């Protein structure tokens, strides 16, 4: 079969599957997940899958393993929408049972009639294995912060960096301070427009902090006690609600979704590919 004949066959089957689902064709076929799936020789699902930010979410139907979520589920019941339920990745699911804040089971219109149920739960994953990353800026040889020690080192570097520039803010004019900051390379490559913007924002922060301390009659040189307090506060801010340290390990608090019924997919869950 020639490539042209094969593409015509794929397009024909694509239109059949879309019509069967009562959907609309995507006139930009390169952006159609279903069309690309058929081109790869994969079978279309018997029903359209749930959506993940408007894109077909095949993995949540087909994967036997947990699938990561960028954020947790939420109640969805606005007055202007007739479809109420649980919002997951900007699509509306139906709650079956459980606690929205930690662990629940859900199903999805259409798939519910086929007995499909998913578990959605919150789990704490080791920082070294999770897909989320806390960026590391204090070491060029480290991409992400994966241990409590690296988190503390990052925050200590931030505070010590701040204290150095605050002292200079008390000694230099705004223009001199900005020139020094750009020359240091901390704002990016000199000459770039964004570098000037970053430097301007940083200099404003340094000068504001210095002015606050001067107004309060404090030295621009922070005491060791003040440094430690700022490091602790920065650690709390950096970890936020999504990261935690437990038993000496840095963990990312994330959400997962996994199909629990049926335990596996069978031929009845697919249509013929072509």
Select from 24, 14, 4, 86 the least CA-distant residue to 274.
Answer: 14
Task: Supply the pLDDT for residue 131.
Answer: 80
Tell me the chain's radius of gyration from C-alpha atoms: 27
Q: Which residues contact 164 (CB under 8 A, 6 or more apart)?
A: none
State the Cα torsion 18-19-20-21 to the nearest 10°: 50
Q: Where are the beta strands (DSSP E) in the chain?
A: 51-52, 55-56, 67-69, 74-76, 85-88, 91-99, 103-107, 117-126, 243-246, 249-261
Task: Supply the pLDDT for residue 44.
Answer: 95
Parallel, antiparallel or unpaired: strands 51-52 and 55-56: antiparallel
Task: Supply the pLDDT for residue 16.
Answer: 92
Return d(Cα 5, Cα 234) in angstroms, integer: 62
pTM for the full predicted model: 0.72
Enter the tokens of residue 89: 């990745």
Question: So where are the chain's domains?
Answer: 59-127+250-267, 153-231
| Residue 104: φ, ψ to 5° | -150, 165
Return d(Cα 150, Cα 248) in angstroms, integer: 12
Task: Supply the pLDDT for residue 132.
Answer: 85
Task: Supply the pLDDT for residue 1.
Answer: 60
- Residue by residue, pLDDT tens for the chain (274 residues) are 677 778 889 999 999 999 998 988 998 999 999 999 999 999 999 999 999 999 999 999 999 999 989 889 999 999 998 889 999 999 999 999 999 988 999 999 999 999 999 999 999 999 998 888 999 999 989 999 999 999 999 999 999 999 999 999 999 999 999 999 999 998 888 878 899 999 999 999 999 999 999 999 999 999 999 999 999 999 999 999 899 999 999 999 999 999 999 999 999 999 987 7
Measured over the CA atoms of residue 34, residue 36, residue 38 and residue 41, the dihedral's sign is: negative
| Residue 36: φ, ψ to 5° | -65, -35
């Amino acid at each position: 079969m020639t490539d042209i004949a094969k593409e015509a066959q794929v397009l024909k089957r694509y239109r059949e599957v879309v019509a069967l689902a009562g959907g609309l064709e995507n006139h930009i076929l390169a952006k159609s997940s279903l069309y690309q799936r058929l081109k790869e020789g994969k079978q279309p699902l018997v029903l359209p899958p749930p959506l993940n930010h408007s894109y077909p979410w095949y993995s949540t139907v087909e994967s036997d393993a947990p699938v990561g979520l960028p954020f947790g589920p939420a109640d969805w019941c606005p007055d202007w929408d007739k479809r109420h339920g649980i919002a997951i990745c900007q699509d509306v699911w139906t709650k079956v049972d459980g606690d929205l804040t930690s662990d629940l089971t859900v199903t999805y219109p259409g798939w519910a009639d086929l007995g499909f149920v998913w578990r959605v739960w919150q789990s704490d994953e080791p920082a070294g294995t999770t897909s989320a990353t806390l960026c590391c800026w204090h070491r060029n040889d480290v991409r992400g912060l994966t241990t409590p020690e690296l988190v503390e080192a990052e925050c200590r570097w931030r505070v010590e960096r701040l204290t150095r520039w605050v002292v200079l803010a008390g000694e230099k004019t705004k223009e001199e301070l900005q020139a020094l900051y750009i020359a240091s390379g901390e704002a990016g490559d000199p000459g770039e427009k964004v570098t000037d913007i970053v430097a301007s924002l940083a200099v404003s922060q340094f000068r504001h902090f210095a002015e606050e301390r001067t107004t309060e009659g404090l030295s621009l040189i922070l005491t060791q006690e003040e440094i430690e307090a700022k490091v602790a506060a920065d650690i709390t801010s950096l970890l936020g609600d999504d990261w935690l340290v437990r038993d000496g390990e840095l963990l990312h608090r994330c959400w997962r979704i996994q199909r629990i019924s049926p335990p596996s997919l069978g031929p009845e869950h697919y249509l013929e590919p072509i």
